[in-house]
A and B are shown apart, each in its own frame.
Chain A
């Protein structure tokens, strides 16, 4: 039964993707129907897995000695992420029925969205490092294809290729990790690796640990690999919601959480992880403060919130990171889809042109505000509970200065969120025509908005599931009652709430504060250059092209030089042989 559900959760989206492609772009309604049907069915299958989570291997298909066995292990972490991917996936597909109505090449769009959902579920469920890498790469392929969906727009194409290359570069870290695990243990199975980790030489384990960190940072758009996510906003908005907010970018956090028991004792690793999360949270929040594009604002916010999750793993709060992952997936998808409704209605992404759209789109305004409250972390929404849990873990187990910075991050989050809400809904009316969201859009938005009120109530069953199925992680059950008592009782909570209020106050009364009246000039410049990383990207690209240009001179086109090349080759080979034998 478990095996069947797993194959359905993974296979239905893939099958749906193939059918949508075969149906062809002439029959749009059929394509919408197939996409919604198959993604919803996969979500049902994945949700059905939740109560049956178990740490035992449910599926195993042998691929030969050099690939290991394709195994699926439906433990708590796996089924959780698979459920998030398929449920948010189906909501994004439902949203797309309105958003992408009448678009050209719809088959290509739906196919890649569906393949992505299948690959993401498989990534979460697999227990084999090689196949984890395989599905990791497939999600990167789908992400690239969807970011550059509008191939005629050079910005979209550039964004897609940039995302592909940066995440693939990070992927080399995961590749090295998998290969080293195989070299050390003779197997690709994660369970084997976790069991054997204490016996692996520290130097090798260290390389693996930092390889995992690099791969996770690239995939989750953390510092120093954060530059691809804002440019990925050229994708159609349901894609941004699904892939670049709720699902694919979580794969890095998932990897760190999954391998945490093996790497926790590697010297400096946890500090490095916490540092990466911290820096990302801070600089992304700073960049969000000066953003003018609504989707870029949300992208920076995603980087920042992912930073909180990474920081949580670094200080040892694996459950806290996954709990916030759940909250964030729901409220960020909500924010993106609501933003999508606005962008679809107004035809612009520039917040300065939006103005008083709140009056004309009341439903969207309301759900957006709900998402914003969750993002700022105000009770009783899910963002409050999960963010507070992370901050508490940080205060208890991490350095105090790190906690202080994360607290500043909370204030900044509140600041940029309130700024965003007021620019979009409550400032000078831009005068653009707008209609409220269509029916399919409203369905997705309503479900997600309800989720922000409800998902934190699953803390008890979620933590119980993780504790039971992941023995290596040493997790404990945390009932909702305990969660409430802990959070409401801790002084840290009120510090954080205070910080949020300070952030909102600074925005609200920025006229009265001379230093906050206008955003500092250096911030805009820093944001433009991604805090230096865009410059590095550009220089790397230029250097590579230059290297190619220099090499081009060796292709002289003249036969004499070509033959001379053979002579040089012979001399080189003779020298190498003389020296090495």
Chain B
């Protein structure tokens, strides 16, 4: 019974995704006008059902520790890291599905959208549980493929297609790079299981080269600089719910994949990988912030900000890998969670404004790019959405009493616990970057609370409750975790422990 819960958690979404698609096709054939509601309800039902095996798995993990599943050469493990990623994927997935209902017009193939979201969620859960190289790659590819369709969902828009093609090609090059790395490792060591690789503890130039290939290959998905160039376009062109998922879980899943692999390969050169991660952290933070400063389009601004937040996560994790302590890992993973909440909320709020300004047709696919000017005076007609957006961006800037402050603090504490001058300076650099980010987050808040509304706001339409509930949930979460971070300790402490165990501390 207990093993089955974990198996269901991993494989049930993959079974339900095609089922949703087929259900949708059947509804379309018989009663096309009911398509949007029917398929959305089906998807919501599926997500609700998926929470049950997740909760059971969490309880089992709390009782007996990591759950190992082996099917022939396929090795899966459910540890703290898997449960964290699964929680993020399920939570954001459920909220985005509910949120997307209003955006669907029934003309672009709703059933493909929802089945892709469910499939992507399932792939991410599986990725978090992978315990050998090849099967990790398969889940990773599955996640990438299901996300391609979602990014280009507005396929009548040339800019969306352009963004999708760039994302597809770069992602594919990344995947091939990873595959070459896997081949190198297998040829060199004869093993692909993470446990076996870690036990072998070999540190040869070939394996270091493979590690470099993995860093670059997964780095595309993680949006490490200079592999990040697909991100701004993809986030801006995708439907807002998908942007939320991309920033909130997909890039983080790439990070988890990379960490699993490096954990298995690192052996005695762990500090070098830690230093490398910290170097990427510094570059990501700076470039993300400087580029975001120049943006006038809200969704592109948020996309660049995801780059800098990935930098914070890498800083925390890099410190943990470098010195071999758990606090940095816990901090970095805490930031993974809070960033998912806050960035998800920010994108959902931006999407709400895009919907509001889309006119009576509610055709969000014709969005010409929501700018700061369009947000002027939004609070007069949309006070809740304006509040949600403000809380999201102020949280991202790291202002208390919101979640981002707490997670950034944990990362900074871990950095100073290293008693290393360079790392200390890096923490100060990160804090200064946080201050810099205020320069582009604060104007958003100022814009929405103006008294004089923009034309877009004045002509805006009402927002349905299906969009507001996910935003309300995330807003409350951001405030609650900011005031009382212990609420999520049950999730992040085992995850941090699992991560530092992987790197042999």
For B214, give the chain A residue with the smallest CB separation.
A573
B210 to chain A, nearest CB (A): 11
Mark contacts of B248-273 with chain A using CB atoms, 8 A cut-off: 1 yes-contact digit, 0 otherwise. 00000000000000000000010010
Question: A141 touches which one: B208, B209, B233, B399 (CB < 8 A)?
Answer: B399
Say which one of B83-91, B114-122, B131-139, B438-446 lies at the interface with A: B438-446
Given contacts A544-B290, A552-B294, A569-B216, are A182 and B405 in contact (CB under 8 A)? Answer: no
Determine whether the beta carbon of B208 is less than 8 Å from that of A577: yes
Determine whether the beta carbon of B417 is less than 8 Å from that of A152: no
B287 interface hit (Cβ, 8 Å): yes
- Complex Cα distance, B442 from A559, in Å, reads 33
A179 interface hit (Cβ, 8 Å): yes
B109 interface hit (Cβ, 8 Å): no
- Contacting B at CB under 8 A, from A143-177, are 144-145, 148, 151-152, 157, 160-161, 164-165, 168-169, 171-172, 175-176
Q: Which residues of B contact A63 (CB under 8 A)?
A: 485-486
Chain A: interface secondary structure? helix
Interface size of B as a range: 35 or more
Given contacts A151-B447, A562-B229, are A67 and B485 in contact (CB under 8 A)? Answer: yes
A75 to chain B, nearest CB (A): 24
Given contacts A565-B226, A581-B272, are A152 and B409 in contact (CB under 8 A)? Answer: no
For A104, give the chain B residue with the smallest CB separation.
B451
A513 interface hit (Cβ, 8 Å): no
Mark contacts of A175-218 with chain B using CB atoms, 8 A cut-off: 1 yes-contact digit, 0 otherwise. 11001101100000000000000000000000000000000000
Q: Which residues of B contact A105 (CB under 8 A)?
A: 449, 451
Question: B291 touches which one: A137, A141, A180, A555 (CB < 8 A)?
Answer: A555
B169 interface hit (Cβ, 8 Å): yes
For B447, give the chain A residue with the smallest CB separation.
A151
- Complex Cα distance, B433 from A548, in Å, reads 13
A114 to chain B, nearest CB (A): 14
Determine whether the beta carbon of B219 is less than 8 Å from that of A569: yes
Question: B413 touches which one: A152, A179, A577 (CB < 8 A)?
Answer: A179
Q: Which residues of A contact B227 (CB under 8 A)?
A: 565-566, 569
* Interface contact tally, CB-CB below 8 A: 171
B45 interface hit (Cβ, 8 Å): no
Say which one of B1-9, B63-71, B94-102, B424-432 lies at the interface with A: B424-432
Question: A551 touches which one: B224, B291, B410 (CB < 8 A)?
Answer: B291
B400 interface hit (Cβ, 8 Å): yes
Given contacts A66-B413, A161-B438, A179-B416, are A566 and B226 in contact (CB under 8 A)? Answer: yes
- Complex Cα distance, B400 from A135, in Å, reads 8
Question: A565 touches which one: B229, B275, B401 (CB < 8 A)?
Answer: B229
Given contacts A545-B294, A566-B226, are A183 and B166 in contact (CB under 8 A)? Answer: no
- Complex Cα distance, B390 from A108, in Å, reads 13
Q: Which residues of B contact A176 (CB under 8 A)?
A: 424, 427-428, 431
Determine whether the beta carbon of A66 is less than 8 Å from that of B208: no
Mark contacts of A127-145 with chain B using CB atoms, 8 A cut-off: 1 yes-contact digit, 0 otherwise. 0001000110110110011
B450 interface hit (Cβ, 8 Å): yes
Which 9 residue pairs of A and B lie closest in terms of their CB atoms, listed nearest first? A565-B226, A179-B416, A548-B290, A562-B229, A151-B450, A168-B435, A573-B212, A183-B416, A548-B294
**Interface on A for B, CB 8 Å cutoff?**
63-67, 104-105, 108, 130, 134-135, 137-138, 140-141, 144-145, 148, 151-152, 157, 160-161, 164-165, 168-169, 171-172, 175-176, 179-180, 182-183, 544-545, 547-549, 551-552, 554-557, 559, 561-563, 565-566, 568-570, 573-574, 576-578, 580-581
**16 A-B residue contacts at CB 8 Å?**
A64-B486, A105-B449, A141-B394, A165-B435, A165-B438, A176-B427, A179-B416, A179-B424, A547-B290, A548-B293, A554-B226, A562-B230, A566-B170, A573-B276, A574-B212, A581-B269
